[in-house]
Structures are given as C-alpha cells and as structure tokens.
Structure 1
C-alpha cells in the first residue's frame, strides 16, 4: 500500500467502522490518532465519557492503542506505516505526516463514520505531534 492521504482515509475508515460496532452506544469524547513515522507506527486510541483517565495521559487510557498494529490488530496499516518510515528517513520531519493524517481524519468519508458514534458535547479528534508536549491539535 502506497503512502497517500487516500490510503490513510481508507485505513481510518475501516478501523473506525470496526470500533463503531464494538463501542456503539458509549459516549465518545476523544479519538486520538498517533502518528510515529520513526517506528513505523500508527495508532488509534479512544477516550469515552465514562473513563476516568486524564485526557492528557493518552497512554493511560483504557482504549489506548485500540488499533494494535504491532500485535496484529491492524495488519492493513503495516505496509503504509513502513512506507511512511521510508519517507521519514529522508528528512526526519513529522509535520507533513501530521498534516496528511489531519486531512484524512477530517475527510468526508472518515467524518461520516465518526458521526455514527454517540459523541460527547466536547468531542474531538486529535492528531498531536508526539515530540512536542505542547503540541497543537492538527485536527483543530
């Protein structure tokens, strides 16, 4: 799978559709899309209104890394993540990847799936720069 916004959209749409069937009815506060080109990783994490974890402590969320790319939970994304790493090796700049994932996450196709979840009033999708503790949300 080549690295492209369209392929990112397809992967997000598929994984979010899978999650929708599992979490239907739970009020969703945050979808975090983790983008780590230096280790060939993409992950999707969820924080629900009923969860007690702090929203800034993503790694502590009950559904942190729901996608489980390294544990065989998202094999479709592995090839794209490897291509992402090949590009990363050339310039070591995460910003273009974060912008691409923002474009995919806010696309009509992905937004359609997201809107099928029961969304909290303060719901958001976030793509953050994992190297910046004060990162802006690239989806804002």
Structure 2
C-alpha cells in the first residue's frame, strides 16, 4: 500500500510526534472540525455538520480518556472537557452557530496554553542539555 505524499507526511508527523505534540494536533484537529461544522451548519448541510461536530466530540472524548488524572490540574480540566462536549451536542441539535463560537474559544485557549507548555518544556530541556 503506497501513500500519497500528503498522507505519508501526515502519517510520519503522527508517528514521530511527542505526546505533547500529539495533544496539540488533537486541539488543532478539533478546531478544524468545529469550523467545518459551523460552515456546514450555516450552509444548511445537516449531514456534513453532524459528521464534523461528531469528529470534534470524539477528539474531546480522546482528550478526556488520556487526561493524566494523577495531576491536580486534571480536576479543573475534566469538567471543561465535559462542558465542551455538552455544548457540541447542543450546537448539533439546535443548529446554533453561536455555541460553536464559544466552543472554538475554549478549545483555542486550551491549544494556546498547550503550545506555551511545549515551548517551556523545550526551553527547559535545552537549558538542561547545555548544563550537562
């Protein structure tokens, strides 16, 4: 089975990514599906809207499943993930794009915070490597 160049790149990106980078990919994917769902909603393409919003939900479910519950911060994150899922379902049922604006804002905050965590970890690892 040969992959097209773009598929091969995506496959390699996922298989060589660190856990932190995979989480960042999940946030970016969720945002992509929310935007596509909103566009389909506005265009009254009910099937595409449903498919895209379910993909976004599934990503949030994956983030919930992989959340490190031993970390105290997870007690704050889990209810927010649950809220995001609830809002995605509500937006899908009511066809309310304003709800998706709220979801997009919340997921963007998670994504941007996660980007900062990755940067700090890299900077810390680089500093420790230089001291060794």
Please give the TM-score of this superposition, normalised by the length of structure 1.
Answer: 0.29
Greater helix proportion? 2
Larger of the two Rg values belongs to structure: 2
Please give the TM-score of this superposition, normalised by the length of structure 2.
Answer: 0.30
Highest RCO, 1 vs 2 (Cα 8 Å, sep ≥ 6): 1
